[in-house]
Amino acid sequence: MFYRLVHRFEIKRLMKNGLRMGKHIILFNREEDYGCNPHLVSIGDNCVITSGVKFITNPGIAVANTFGSKNDSASHLGEIIVHDNCFIGLNAIILPGVNIGPNAVIGAGAVVMDDIEPNRCVSGNPAKVTCTLQYYEKVCKKNTTLQYNQKTKRKVLKQFFWTSSKTHLLNNKV
């Protein structure tokens, strides 16, 4: 309870500092990091943000200017826009200036450096398009496990555990 309460106050504080969040957002943990400039982060409606996601609004290389770098863009701040119906996986990192299109899926651990088109699934470091949302939905439907009711539970348990010997289980790697 205390954990949720602290997280709720932290989100409210960030919103007072300019973080824009739509309706029906699901935040899985309090470990999200909205950067030192929360006013540069905008999240649309119906989005899911999992634990450990980092929104990097400042690339953190402003120090280079103090060491005599001639590059004025080293301290560039970038707005991050996450449109409606997006899913951002565990420990993903979103870098400055990224625009994530509607219905995008960002895989766990992805480092998003470029804009993501609508209805795309990306993963990896750097994040690359792995498939379309339609293909991902098709694969998920195909790989859906049994809907367990009392009858199917009993059947599975009987088939694999109650009537099978240990050697049968080991040989068939069930």
Q: What ranges do the domains of the chain cover?
A: 2-143, 146-174
Q: Per-residue b/e over 82-118, b at no fewer than 16 CB within 10 Å?
A: bbbbbbbbbebbbbbbbbbbbbbbbbeebbbeeebee
Higher pLDDT, 31 or 46: 46
How many CB atoms lie under 10 A from the CB of residue 68? 6
Q: To which CATH superfamily is domain 2-143 assigned?
A: Hexapeptide repeat proteins (2.160.10.10)
Mean pLDDT of 138-158: 74
* 73-109: pLDDT as tens digits: 555 678 999 999 999 999 999 999 999 999 999 999 9
Instruction: Give the model's pLDDT for residue 101.
Output: 95
Which region among 62-66, 72-76, 154-158 has the lowest average model confidence (pLDDT)? 62-66
Say which residues have a Cβ less than 8 Å from residue 49's Cβ, sequence separation at least 6. Answer: 25, 26, 27, 28, 32, 43, 88
Average pLDDT over the chain, rounded to an integer: 79
Which region among 1-5, 6-10, 44-48 has the lowest average model confidence (pLDDT)? 1-5
- Rounded Cα distance between 172 and 10, Å, is 50
* 108-133: pLDDT as tens digits: 999 999 999 999 999 999 999 999 99
Q: Is the pLDDT of residue 47 over 80?
A: yes
